Amino acid sequence: MPTPIYMDNNATTRVDPRVIDAMLPWFGEDYGNAASLHHAFGRKAEEGVETARAEVAELIGAKPREIVFTSGATESDNLALRGAALMARSRGDHLITAATEHHAVLDTVRRLERDGFRVTTLGVDHEGHVTPEQVEEAITDRTILVSLMAANNEVGTLHPLAAIGEICHRRGVLFHTDAAQAAGKVSLDVESMHLDLVSLSAHKMYGPKGVGALYVRRRNPTVRLEPMLEGGGHERGLRSGTLNVPGIVGFGLACRLCAGELATEAERLAVLRDRLYYGIVEAIDGVTLNGPLEDRLPGNLNLSFAWVRGEALLMGLRGVAVSTGSACTSASPEASYVLRAMGIEEELAHASLRFGLGRFTTADEVSTVIDEVRRVVSMLREMSPDYALHRQARVLAASS
């Protein structure tokens, strides 16, 4: 079978060939352990890691020493939330998050709740937004941390981080954001957005899987975390374990490439995304956009198709790689919890598809996907009794 057109870049991205080329030497001749500083092999590995640390920091306006390398955004979320909560337990026990967060955040705060912390889970509006006013109203004198994602992984909604961060800092509360989806796609700046902890993932920005980072603010305020992994004191004692030098080097270059191409790539993807959206809605009736038209990731498009099932759409679209929601919950028969939290009825939530456009998506591929979606939806609706009733009602309404 021919290779499908890849439109699942919110789940993962293809590693950029330039990143692969940069990583290859670190698997072979430059194989030293970055902690073995007593010989040249280790010192060269450390140089590679520190170069990457500076590249990751530059992407979000941080300082290199504020970057802690991890195995990915899930570990970074755990270290940020559990590390901050356990360290600050003597002065507070209240955490704030939102109903549409990634499970790496939601499951972690649930674990903290079982350990005695109190959690406020904010609702979202019909486009998936949390407002600064909601956050301010939820903060109490026992609140120690707010965690809100920069961009939603299913519907692409962007939160107003700067306004929320200003409130958190004014109230003396730490502010964490899971930026796995946003980093490298939209501008992030830890200073202007008042961010204290930021989770990052390489494989969401054309880097390798299995490597990520956590930004930990060092001044105004100095953020202190309880380590989750013990054993060796790597990464200034915050994350023990031998560093993944090839992955880290690739992560660093991926960040540098994203930083250099961000503005032009965001504009290109927004144009392609809108072409995909309008091409589908002009060809098919009963299509609903999930999330905002503006204030969303440039490459994200989430649509619901009335009178069909998302699983049937996936089966029919064999030539297109898309998903029905988060890659972490794609095997679940339940409707997307993100869409349900946005107030979307269960039937439409079950009939949703997420299209993730990326660096390697072309205009020709968008045109082909429009045609394929139109073909498959039309075929499925011909077999749908619900659509037959809808069409009959429409005919009766037109003749009356």
On whether both 211 and 104 belong to a single domain, the answer is: yes
Confidence of residue 387 (pLDDT cuts 50, 70, 90): confident
On whether both 241 and 286 belong to a single domain, the answer is: no
- Nearest one of 149, 165, 107, 100 to 127, comparing CA atoms: 100
* Per-residue pLDDT tens over the stretch 356-376: 999 999 999 999 999 999 999
Greater confidence (246 vs 326) lies with 246
pLDDT at residue 330 is higher than 60: no
Tell me the average pLDDT across 224-251. 94
> For residue 103, what is the enclosing H or E element?
helix 103-114
Greater confidence (66 vs 395) lies with 66
- Nearest one of 120, 131, 183 to 153, comparing CA atoms: 183
Domain harbouring 154, CATH code: 3.40.640.10
- Nearest one of 127, 197, 192, 113 to 159, comparing CA atoms: 127
Q: Looking at residue 333, what is its pLDDT? A: 62
On whether both 175 and 307 belong to a single domain, the answer is: no
> Domain limits at 55?
17-258
* Per-residue pLDDT tens over the stretch 88-98: 999 999 999 99
Q: Is 328 a catalytic residue?
A: yes
On whether both 284 and 307 belong to a single domain, the answer is: yes
Greater confidence (236 vs 175) lies with 175
The residue from 201, 226, 258 where one domain ends is: 258
* Bond from prior residue into 221 cis (ω within 30 degrees of 0): yes
Q: Looking at residue 389, what is its pLDDT? A: 74
Given a contact cutoff of 8 angstroms between Cβ atoms, the answer to whether 321 and 4 are in contact is yes
Domain harbouring 320, CATH code: 3.90.1150.10
Confidence of residue 328 (pLDDT cuts 50, 70, 90): low
pLDDT at residue 332 is higher than 60: no
The lowest-confidence range among 8-17, 55-64, 316-325 is 316-325
Given 168, 255, 258, 328, the catalytic residue:
328
Q: Looking at residue 395, what is its pLDDT? A: 65
On whether both 269 and 237 belong to a single domain, the answer is: no
On whether both 252 and 266 belong to a single domain, the answer is: no
Bridge partners of residue 199, in order along the sequence: 178, 214
The lowest-confidence range among 16-30, 122-136, 218-232 is 218-232
Confidence of residue 311 (pLDDT cuts 50, 70, 90): confident
On whether both 279 and 219 belong to a single domain, the answer is: no
- CA-to-CA separations, 212 to 54, 283, 308, in angstroms, rounded: 14, 40, 38
Q: Is 325 left (phi over 0), alpha (psi -120 to 50) or beta?
A: left
Confidence of residue 177 (pLDDT cuts 50, 70, 90): very high
* Per-residue pLDDT tens over the stretch 261-294: 999 999 999 999 999 999 999 999 999 999 999 9
pTM of the predicted model over 0.85: yes
pLDDT at residue 247 is higher than 70: yes
The residue from 223, 258, 293 where one domain ends is: 258
Compute the mean pLDDT over every residue in the chain, rounded to the nearest whole number: 94
pLDDT at residue 297 is higher than 80: yes
On whether both 61 and 188 belong to a single domain, the answer is: yes
| Percent above pLDDT 70 for the chain | 96
On whether both 74 and 156 belong to a single domain, the answer is: yes
| Count of structural domains within the chain | 2
Q: Looking at residue 214, what is its pLDDT? A: 98
pLDDT at residue 172 is higher than 90: yes
Report the distance separating Cα 123 and Cα 186, nearest Å: 24
Q: Looking at residue 391, what is its pLDDT? A: 74
On whether both 216 and 357 belong to a single domain, the answer is: no
Interior angle at CA 29, CA 23 and CA 31, nearest 5: 70
Q: Looking at residue 221, what is its pLDDT? A: 96
Given a contact cutoff of 8 angstroms between Cβ atoms, the answer to whether 19 and 253 are in contact is yes
Phi, psi of 122 (to 5 degrees): -75, 140
The residue from 258, 273, 297 where one domain ends is: 258
